[in-house]
Structure 1
Amino acid sequence: MRRLLLPLAAGACATLLVGGCSGGSAPQAQRSTQAAAPFVSNQLQDDYQAVIKNVLPSVVQIDASQSLGSGVVYDDNGHIVTNAHVVGQERTFKVTAATGGQPVAAKLVAAYPEQDLAVIKLDSVPSGLKAAKLGDSSKVDMGQIVLAMGSPLGLSGSVTQGIVSATGRTVSEGRTGGGTGATIGNMVQTSAAINPGNSGGALVNLDSEVIGIPTLAATDPELGGGSAPGIGFAIPASMVRTVADQIITTGKVTDSGRAALNITGRTVLDDAYEPAGVAIVEATAGGAAAKAGLRAGDVITRLADDPITTITSLSESLAERKPGDEVSVVFTRGSREEKTEATLGEI
């Protein structure tokens, strides 16, 4: 992956406030708090170590000729789910378990760049690997403790920790450095460190469930495009399951669950050279846009309540919706502004 502390001292701070600056023996409540703090800290540490022991055998490092990333063991048949940008244009890989051992050869099953997901399959399944348990995306919530497992900078079997910072984020991935250019909705934002090599690995809760696949780290233009610490994004387990199941069963994604207008478009600029909308180059016959009366040459400026100025803004608006949703589309045709209703199709 290229682009994007738990306050354990809270109990200690409370103790200082209760104790004040007076001398003599500590009050009973203070002594109880002091005794409880190490217990809570040790219990959390035990939880971390248990999760790592449970999940690390489900995490692998993936080596391609042009990239290095991570993956998650999806089933007992040797299928590994990872990011499409990790596999790139490669078809064969060397896979090493996060717990060690000799590399094993693997082949690409299929990639789905539109969601930046891919599945590869091991030629043979080494002992010690086990399928990960995927969590329920609907139960992921802000503040939950999470661990990110993978191979940042090639350091196989590394673990970082943080919390779920937000859910439901829509994020667009660049094409530089091998990115797919995908716009991905409903992503999980986390403060756990996500570094190059973490892509395709596991974002895990304290129930040892994989709740997402770390994919992107935020960048800060003011830092020259450098990583913005503590802002990373993971594809939710629900989408991972949807895409992986289809690839394993049919070799391709036949039901993306992604909304579309079914157009080919390009960003247009106004007289001040600012992005001003998306011009339709082609409206696929029988697609959502064509059925709504849109045609080549129309410039889309609004979708529902979202202003549309670029292809990216249109993709982000669509990523937040589902096939079959009815939305209003504001567009210009020649010098006139017009409006129509569209029933969204599917990518």
Structure 2
Amino acid sequence: MDQGKAAGPKWWSRPEPVTPAPPEAHAAPATPSPQAPEDAVPRHGSDPYDTPPYGEPGPWAPAPPVTRPADTPPPAVPPVPPMPPHTAAPAAGPVPPPLPVGQWHRYDPWAAPGPLPAAPRTSRRRGPLAAVLIALTLAAGGLGGVLGAYAARDGGSERVTLPQASAPGEAGKRAPDSVAGIAAKVLPGVVYIHVKSDSGEGTGTGFVLDDEGHILTNNHVVETVAKSGTISVTFNGGQIRTAKIVGRDTGYDLAVIKVAGVKGLRPVTLGDSDAAQVGDPVVAIGAPYGLEGTVTSGIISATQRPITAGGETEGSDVSYVDAIQTDAPINPGNSGGPLVDSRGLVIGINSAIRSADSSSDPFGNGSQGGSIGLGFAIPVNQAKRVAEQLINNGKATHPVIGVSINLQYDGDGAQVSPEGEGDGDSITPNGPGAKAGIEPGDVITAIDGKRVHSGEELIVRIRSHRPGDKLALTLKRGGKERSVQLVLGSATG
């Protein structure tokens, strides 16, 4: 709109101040007068020039500007009637100061003097800062409420008690054939072995055989300290004692050590490994990676599993074991620990594992991964015989057939070394094989009716027996199959 033309009141502009009437028109009377009637002062709606287009304003709304033609005199103010005699005239108070330009408010001259009303708030859009302040206020209020409730609950007389089921039966008791029951029975007889020598340190497991302090373990656990070094034995109760080697056998991978001055020993009970069957539950106890008192469970996966282990490092002997296979987790550090049945009887000595890395040492001498469910234990019937010989004689005997085996033969079966091969005789003179009629070049294919597929497997089968046992061998010679009978001999070393 063109602001140079006065087309009427400017409703969007601030009001111009109204020129007051001459002083004599509003002079106060000399004598007291009664209170002026309410219509003594013009109100909105009573003046034709004072009618806003938006109706009667509210008590806090700004007064619209009053605009009159310049030639129109202000209306006369009627005389004020006298006040009653008993009513005193209002005290002449100070005239309020003029409102600053732009502060929209009406002043009633007949109202009692008092503070001016506050200016009305203007509406504005709340920005992000206001939203953040409100959110922080609410969050602080919520946190204060939570802390207050917690403080009241913690400091008050009421305390929270959560429900909990009680253990069935007598507390701490488990069935004897449960894993917990088996562990409680066997753990007191299991020990943890730490060896230290100039070549390094190692750990393993063993178990108490008798009250004299004899402990059975694997040979590869203690072989590094056979000449020099120390053996430290930690019992399940926390006692630590030094031990010495009584005897060891590399072919069976067994050793017996002994501690002295220990009271209250808890020997384990040996079972019958020949009675073990595939699928029977078993429990393995040991210290895998130094974690003493570790208990794992599984089943017997196979029996009479021929394995060979060791020999990967220089000076390490090869062990031949007709093993019990189990899927109970066994890891490095379990070596020498017991494999027990559901009655808590030892049926095997945990000795080897097959890891995901086929090139690793199954005895844990090299770098290898953990268990993949292929663990192997020396049958306790074989270990019992060897342990007795080591305790009584300091060494064990091996059953032999008196022939040399060609381990490079790649056919099916175990070949007796042909004449002239190897450092010694193919057939030991007057040995069990010579007496049975075995000749150089014969291929042995079965023992007591069980197939033999390699020279290593033949040795394992022989080692699973005792000297003096009778065997029936099936062999091939010149394309023909024949059977022979022999009695196992004995050898040491």
* Bigger RCO of structures 1 and 2 (CA < 8 A, at least 6 apart): 1
Query: Tell me, what secondary structure is at the counterpart of 1:216?
Result: strand
Structure 1 residue 312, shift from structure 2 partner: 1.5
Structure 1 residue 136, shift from structure 2 partner: 2.3
The letter of the residue matching 2:381 is: S
Structure 1 residue 73, shift from structure 2 partner: 0.5
Aligned to 1:23: none
Aligned to 1:166: 302
Aligned to 2:255: 118
How do residues 85-164 of structure 1 correspond to structure 2 at under 5 angstroms? 85-91=220-226, 92-102=230-240, 104-122=241-259, 124-164=260-300
Q: 1:209 to 1:266 in 2, by over 3 A?
A: same
Structure 2, unaligned stretches of length 5 or more?
1-167, 361-367
CA contact 1:218–1:228 (8 Å) conserved in 2: yes
Determine if the alignment matches structure 1 residue 289 to structure 2 residue 433. Answer: yes
State how far apart, in whole Å, the 2-side matches of 1:126 and 1:250 are. Answer: 24
Which of 326, 330, 344 aligns to 1:194? It is 330
State how far apart, in whole Å, the 2-side matches of 1:97 and 1:50 are. Answer: 19
Structure 1 residue 116, shift from structure 2 partner: 1.4
Q: 1:204 to 1:114 in 2, by over 3 A?
A: same
The letter of the residue matching 1:229 is: I
The letter of the residue matching 2:234 is: T
Query: Tell me, what secondary structure is at the counterpart of 1:88?
Result: helix
State how far apart, in whole Å, the 2-side matches of 1:138 and 1:308 are. Answer: 20
Q: Under a length normalisation based on structure 2, what TM-score does the superposition of the two structures give? A: 0.53
Query: Tell me, what secondary structure is at the counterpart of 1:229?
Result: coil
Q: 1:207 to 1:214 in 2, by over 3 A?
A: same
Aligned to 1:328: 474
Aligned to 2:372: 229
Query: Tell me, what secondary structure is at the counterpart of 2:374?
Result: strand
Structure 1 residue 223, shift from structure 2 partner: 8.4
Question: In the TM superposition, what whole-angstrom CA distance separates every residue of 1:211-236 from its partner, at most 9, and x where no partner exists?
Answer: 21111112446687756611111112
The letter of the residue matching 1:77 is: E
Question: In the TM superposition, what whole-angstrom CA distance separates every residue of 1:233-292 from its partner, at most 9, and x where no partner exists?
Answer: 1112212221112221222224x4x4x32223433457xx99994425422222122223
CA contact 2:207–2:216 (8 Å) conserved in 1: yes
Give the fraction of aligned pairs with identical amino acids, expressed as a percent.
Answer: 34
Aligned to 1:84: 219
Which of 54, 73, 77 aligns to 2:208? It is 73
Aligned to 1:204: 340
Determine if the alignment matches structure 1 residue 62 to structure 2 residue 200. Answer: no
State how far apart, in whole Å, the 1-side matches of 2:177 and 2:271 are. Answer: 21
Q: 1:238 to 1:222 in 2, by over 3 A?
A: closer
Query: Tell me, what secondary structure is at the counterpart of 1:64?
Result: strand
The alignment's C-alpha RMSD in Å is 3.3
State how far apart, in whole Å, the 1-side matches of 2:205 and 2:357 are. Answer: 27
Which structure shows the higher strand fraction?
Answer: 1
Aligned to 1:261: 401
Q: Under a length normalisation based on structure 1, what TM-score does the superposition of the two structures give? A: 0.73
Determine if the alignment matches structure 1 residue 302 to structure 2 residue 444. Answer: yes
Query: Tell me, what secondary structure is at the counterpart of 1:299?
Result: coil
